[in-house]
A and B are shown apart, each in its own frame.
Chain A
């Protein structure tokens, strides 16, 4: 039997450093797959000993993409530890910054990181611009929208621009790709729509980043959250500022409804066969931590835009509650010492880098029987989980959340797709689009709520607390949802300093290697059964991996170079260490 061992490193159009190895059989079907992260930085170790009030600034740098999310989780973990509830304005501002991040992140993901797996740019040049207008109108009309670009001239200009670019011989970052592959299924007109929106989205995403900067100071790496609230008083005081936010939101929302959703209908329909076959479906267990507080009740009591819950084995009839104490991390196949599953508060993390396995013809191969990634394998109640937009939508539907169910049902109805398509690569991509529309709608309400609250004279942005009292011996967690899925930061504080810090992030759940029972991580599981049209051009593998929107720098975090036990500060007190 002729097997092939594919090595894909670097996986590009992602954040961070990821290697995928896949075994394909004689029919070019993936029979085995391995996911490995090849970089880490040690941020939790760096956080130890610091003032808890400063953690957010540094913890945010776990990721340059969902940067605001880590910022917020870190600050919340400390607020949870201190028992500080933030004022209404702060909640709304944080929701708006986080919401804008969802819009930005999902649009950039679909068009700039994912679309080139669906859209063949070179084919777009063969399209008939007039027919393209009709095609764009067709997909937009499915949800009763007008097409974002319905001008023949616009499509001609896009073609001219890109033709000029292609003609001069060097394709730059678009060079050496899989153009012309049989794996691409769109018509030339559909490709032109995709290409034209790729360019428009480059412009739109700058607007979405501006929304974050209005209340966040800048993007990436905003700088306006503090333990107890937010600092952007003058930006919420100024009605023109809020109006500016709303204006940018309106335009973004228009693009989401007139371009993004129709494009997903289009891609979903053209690739429906694979979706119905369940290609890319993966583990089938979905977990959502819940996020976006809709009222001002303290910690984890507020109602949520995305309800928390777990769905197992694709069974939408039952939802399990999430209990953070059931989360553990396993390192059997990760470059750390130890074999026991431990909760993040008690995790033991000693690096044990064993490198690659064999090396042939200048290609290194992962030592897959043993350790092969810097990412640990998180488990929930000894089960593997997938997190992300698909998990949020599935848990929302299973929870019978009215809003989420409505958006999901409408999407499936408009696209004439059965619910089962959700459990696939296409479904993962669709869920992200559904969520983006929902978010852009609900944010309109939040902006108005903020404007009205301020107009009624509430300018409070911060809750006072006595640091010396609350920071003696405290612990807390910030658990919510990053655009890529469930994200948790756990902090232990002793004598005003961080005694221990841990983050378990979405890509840790999804990009993890096998666990101690040999069960596959979400990326790995999703690749099994995928047919590759041409093994030299593993387009289908990239498409499925990209559907998760990998964010690997986040996923790699914990290390204690001294081999000390992390999180057992009763045994090994670290409080009182000053940062010299």
Chain B
């Protein structure tokens, strides 16, 4: 087995995640035509559920204007030009042509809980009208043998058509016996292999399924790995974060419906539409970073004034994710909004690299490249993309500048 964790680490030290936000007219025109013919072919497929999406939405008190607002926001989230909006609307109606099987392995159900918080479309729309959810451990009615039959039947009926959502990592230690499922006591690894064989594509949802997450944190007692470490010969999409944002789950399905393909991925198999930017790029506290205004201690004047959280351990500058744009729970809030730094939960190995409440500069972390121990600012050079290099330097410099100007004022 190729040690893809090592591979991922190596990739992560290279430039990654650069997104071209405008790929040119020719590209979009051809994609547009492709999406159109894809939707046409889906339209003639026998429907799993024949629904009029507006009908459905209206019973939920959503009018066409609200729906179109959601469509244009989603189109933008998927990084497509506005001309795609009508196709996105159509794809929403046709999402139920794509069956979904959702399995839980070495997990905490956090991503299932996140799915329940989906607001656009809402979870009841997802369950009853939009998605064709065939199997979901935490929500399904039947259990035991009947659940097993339900799964077998769905796999056969939708052979090569279903999207397999995987939540949780896969323990490989002790021959996989750290996790078994079903009447026959199948190991999680066997279960995943059996189910991925007939899937159209596999979506690893949450950081456990993508990079091993919590169980894989040092010293990784169960030798947990992510889906991409085991599954070969099938498209795999990673939607990391702890938990993954439901907007990104829906985005991946919509993109698949729209184009018949998985979205464009970065070197860590994350869709670029969601993981193309750093948290820092769109952070609401960015202006304070630039002005050298930092929270130095929890609850201090800086905290009361919503200053930048870099010095209390925010890893936003090192983390690729769209939470600074779409946030959580219907846009209600996000960790940085609530005054806590980003812990980098959509990055590989974040439990060992980022998830602490001190700035990188004060962390006793050895750079993965090995060699002498360096401070964060140098470490940034090796590990991060060019923009991140100067963060630590800047944090120091701007404070000095700020202090100076204050001193001058006082004079």
Contact = CB atoms under 8 A, between A and B. Distances in A.
Given A165-B128, A203-B124, A213 B332 contact: yes
A168 B178 CA distance: 40
A206 B117 contact: yes
A12 B328 contact: no
6 contacts: A10-B144, A42-B222, A43-B214, A217-B336, A230-B339, A237-B304
Contacts of B107: 64, 553
Contact of B357 (A40, A54, A177): A54
B48 A168 contact: yes
Given A224-B338, A459-B304, A13 B183 contact: no
B180 A38 contact: yes
B179 interface: yes
Given A164-B49, A214-B332, A460 B299 contact: yes
A578 B356 CA distance: 13
A15 to B, nearest CB: 4
A57 B343 CA distance: 9
Contacts of A579: 218, 352, 364-365
A63 B221 CA distance: 18
Interface string A331-367: 0000000000000000000010101100100111000
Interface string B359-392: 0000011100000000000000000000000000
A110 B59 CA distance: 24
Interface stretch (B15-23, B132-140, B250-258): B132-140
B339 A234 contact: yes
Interface stretch (B87-95, B146-154, B275-283): B146-154
Contacts of A38: 179-181, 185
B112 interface: yes
B137 A10 contact: yes
A176 B142 contact: yes
Given A15-B108, A217-B336, 7 more contacts: A46-B220, A57-B343, A64-B108, A165-B128, A168-B47, A178-B146, A221-B243
A235 B335 CA distance: 12
Nearest to B123: A202
B144 A9 contact: yes
The 4 A-B pairs at the shortest CB distance, nearest first, are namely A64-B110, A462-B299, A217-B338, A42-B221
B338 A235 contact: yes
A7 B335 contact: no
Q: Which of A45, A178, A210, A231 has the most CB of B within 10 A?
A: A231
A233 B299 contact: yes
B184 A363 contact: yes
Contact of A39 (B50, B144, B178, B365): B178
Interface in A214-228: 214-224, 226, 228
Contacts of A580: 218, 365-366
A13 B139 contact: yes
A199 interface: yes
A35 interface: no
Contact of A41 (B49, B214, B328, B355): B214
Nearest to A51: B356
Contact of B106 (A39, A205, A215, A217): A39
A67 interface: yes
Contacts of A262: none
A464 interface: yes
Contacts of B215: 41-43, 46
B31 interface: no
A168 B132 CA distance: 12
B179 A39 contact: yes
A398 interface: no
B330 interface: yes
Nearest to A44: B221
Given A65-B109, A580-B366, A116 B147 contact: no
A40 B47 CA distance: 40
Interface string A1-37: 0000001111111111100000000000000000000
A579 B350 CA distance: 12
A51 to B, nearest CB: 6
A112 interface: yes
B70 to A, nearest CB: 15
B333 A464 contact: no
B249 to A, nearest CB: 14
A219 B328 contact: yes
A272 interface: no
B44 interface: no
Contact of A14 (B106, B111, B138, B306): B138
B140 A173 contact: yes
Contacts of A578: 364
Contacts of B178: 39-41
A36 to B, nearest CB: 10
Q: Which of B135, B214, B352 has the most CB of A within 10 A?
A: B214
Contacts of A516: none
A209 interface: yes
A462 B215 CA distance: 31
B109 A353 contact: no
Nearest to A200: B124
Contacts of A12: 137-138, 140-143, 147
Q: Which of B107, B111, B334 has the most CB of A within 10 A?
A: B107
B174 interface: yes
B224 interface: yes
Interface string A534-576: 0001100010000000000100000111000000000000000
Given A17-B181, A173-B140, A232 B123 contact: no
B116 interface: yes
A178 B142 CA distance: 7
Contacts of A178: 141-142, 146
B143 to A, nearest CB: 4
Given A53-B357, A168-B48, A461-B299, A224 B109 contact: no
A161 interface: yes
Contacts of B113: 64-65, 67, 219-220
Interface in B320-339: 327-330, 332-339
B219 interface: yes
Interface in A120-174: 121, 157, 161-162, 164-165, 168, 170, 172-174
Contacts of B119: 206
A259 interface: no
B122 interface: yes
Interface in A460-505: 460-462, 464
Contact of B109 (A11, A63, A231): A63
B132 to A, nearest CB: 6
A157 B188 CA distance: 41
A353 B177 contact: yes
Given A214-B333, A217-B338, A223-B343, A173 B110 contact: no
B339 A231 contact: yes
Contacts of A518: none
A229 interface: yes
Nearest to A177: B141
A205 B27 CA distance: 42
Given A172-B132, A219-B117, A62 B340 contact: no
